[in-house]
């Protein structure tokens, strides 16, 4: 019985770790390279398409850094993924994620 419980526990751990690794891969509404950032008017251009930023936009980095990124860390040429407030791409950008991938 103990062996069965230990195998069940190991199986649950394995499933938990593999599912968390799969969930770490996000699907972004828009991905690409930053063309420009206008902090004065709260806009970001990705692959020459402009999007409005929400007031409470949060910036995240998949490459775990010691200091969390801010909106000031976004530069032209960065690879990003955008998450919107609503389901439409006309809604404002809620999250900006720095990614390692090249989206070309």
- Kindly report the average pLDDT of the chain as a whole number: 77
CB-CB neighbours of 84 under 10 Å: 19
CB 82 within 8 A of CB 29: yes
CB 88 within 8 A of CB 52: no
Most confident of 16-25, 27-36, 58-67, 75-84: 75-84
Residue 28, Cα to own-chain centre: how many angstroms? 7
Instruction: Pick left, alpha or beta for residue 77 (phi over 0 → left; psi -120 to 50 → alpha; otherwise beta).
Output: left
- pLDDT tens, residue by residue, 2-40: 777 777 667 666 665 444 444 444 566 788 899 999 988
- 30-98 has which CATH code? 2.40.50.320
What's the pLDDT at 18? 47
| Cα separation values, 58 from 36, 73, 84, 95, Å | 18, 12, 11, 5
What's the pLDDT at 60? 84
Q: What is the pTM of this model?
A: 0.63
Q: So where are the chain's domains?
A: 30-98
């Amino acid at each position: 019985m103990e062996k069965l419980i230990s195998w069940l526990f190991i199986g649950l751990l394995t499933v938990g770790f593999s599912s968390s690794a799969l969930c770490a891969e996000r699907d972004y509404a828009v991905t690409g390279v930053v063309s420009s950032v206008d902090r004065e008017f709260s806009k970001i251009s990705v692959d020459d398409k402009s999007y409005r930023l929400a007031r409470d936009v949060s910036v995240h980095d998949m490459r775990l850094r010691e200091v969390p990124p801010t909106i000031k860390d976004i530069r032209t040429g960065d690879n990003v993924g955008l998450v919107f407030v609503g389901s439409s791409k006309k809604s404002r950008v809620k999250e900006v994620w720095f990614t390692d991938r090249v989206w070309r």
